[in-house]
Amino acid sequence: MPALFVTNFNPRFTGVSSTAAAVFDQQIRNLDAVLVGHPLPGCPEPITLRRALALSRTPPKGLPFSIWHVRRNSEMQAALFARDILGLPIRIVFTSAAQRRHSIWPRWLISRMNAVIATTEVAASFVPNVNAVVPHGVDTDRFTPASDRNAAWRATGFPGDYGIVTVGRIRPEKGTDLFVKTMIKALPSLPSATAVVIGMAKKSETTFLQSLKDQVAAAGLTQRILFPGEIAAQKMPQVLQGTGLLIALPRYEGYGITPLEAMACGVPVIASTAGHFAKFVGEASTQPAGKIVAQEDWTAAADATVALLSDPSRYAAVSANARNRTIRLFGIATETAGIRAVYDQLWHG
């Protein structure tokens, strides 16, 4: 019987999906683990919830119970049904990245978990009974610098010599409008760059997206600020390898894994004070991986973009810092080990 069930009930590939996939790829190397729900890139095919419930009736060999690792409300609900209604021999671990107070229902669900892992100290302050703070990591073997950044960018099919990208759902909370303003100001000084907004807009954000496209058109930059929609997860390493700079200016972010994926590819990051970005970039260190700007300050983001991309020697140093900092502080093996310690605490006391 599997020792670990990792749930993925969201059919879309999100930041949560990305971190779950990277960790699961490591976990199956030394644990009998199965994925439940929807597929994750690079991972074995998932089983159904019904099959997971059936397998969970018998504890794994040598262990008192299986562990269900959940990351979403729907997944907590299913695990609680398995444990408390069906009485299956399982324990539930929840990872929380939210850096704000949860609403009533998820607060209650979280209070019923056997163990809670927070991704940051701030996130830990919003949930009860935190067993460990384990920052998300990134697979630095999958996300790695290209030998030729310009060639990698040309291979994506996007125009220009290199890209400046932002990644995330197109909506005000993600600061997509701030990225567009940043690019409208910066691109006239960077004639070889193409800006790309990678992410989908739901129907409720159609008007918001159109307003962004109208701003781009009014600035005469329709060919240089692109909205291709979502990009398949399997293609993200290639896109980031050709990227010159990643910009993340959300108004709210729980953690935010994409800047780390970019940094692993040697891509500097300009980000707002949301999420865990300041820790990623380490601007106060002697080897920063980019620049942190104040919330809403797209002017500062534009100035920092032009300054960094116009200084080849500084850019090379910051690019190297980005890769080195990710390997040293945010590798996936560190996250996986932290999670395994929580499992072992449950299994062995």
8 A C-beta contact, residue 55 and residue 26:
no
On whether both 75 and 103 belong to a single domain, the answer is: yes
On whether both 180 and 293 belong to a single domain, the answer is: yes
Residue 115 has pLDDT above 90, yes or no: yes
Paired strand residues for 245: 164
On whether both 131 and 250 belong to a single domain, the answer is: no
Residue 143 located in a structural domain? no
- Write down the pLDDT at residue 269: 98
Mean pLDDT of 128-145: 94
Q: CATH number for the domain including 277?
A: 3.40.50.2000
On whether both 157 and 81 belong to a single domain, the answer is: no
The residue that leads in pLDDT, 316 or 42, is 316
**What does pLDDT average to over the chain?**
95
Q: How confident is the model at residue 193 (pLDDT cuts 50, 70, 90)?
A: very high
Q: State how far Cα 194 lies from the chain centre.
A: 23
On whether both 292 and 314 belong to a single domain, the answer is: yes
On whether both 339 and 216 belong to a single domain, the answer is: no
Residue 221 has pLDDT above 90, yes or no: yes
- Write down the pLDDT at residue 254: 85
Q: How confident is the model at residue 129 (pLDDT cuts 50, 70, 90)?
A: confident
- CA proximity to 263, closest of 252, 284, 249, 247: 247
- Tokens representing 302? 């534009």
- pLDDT 10s digits, 262-301: 999 999 999 999 988 999 999 888 899 999 999 999 999 9
Mean pLDDT of 24-47: 96
* β-pair type (269-271, 290-292): parallel
- Write down the pLDDT at residue 67: 98
Residue 144 located in a structural domain? no
Query: With pLDDT > 90 as the criterion, what percentage of the chain qualifies?
Result: 91
Paired strand residues for 197: 166
On whether both 187 and 270 belong to a single domain, the answer is: yes
Query: DSSP 3-state helix, strand, coil percentages of the chain (rounded to 5)?
Result: 45, 20, 40
- Tokens representing 260? 């780390």
Residue 306 located in a structural domain? yes
The structural domain count of the chain equals 2
- Sorted by sequence, the CB contacts under 8 Å of residue 324 that are 6+ apart come out as 287
- Write down the pLDDT at residue 270: 98
On whether both 232 and 170 belong to a single domain, the answer is: yes
- Write down the pLDDT at residue 128: 87
Alpha-carbon span 252 to 211, nearest angstrom? 21
DSSP string, 269-294: EEE-SSTTHHHHH-TTSSS-SEEE--
| Amino acid identity for residue 238 in this structure | Q
- pLDDT 10s digits, 297-349: 999 999 999 999 999 999 999 999 999 999 999 999 999 999 999 999 999 98
* β-pair type (269-271, 4-8): unpaired
On whether both 286 and 217 belong to a single domain, the answer is: yes
Domain that holds residue 207: 149-329
On whether both 184 and 313 belong to a single domain, the answer is: yes
Residue 194 located in a structural domain? yes
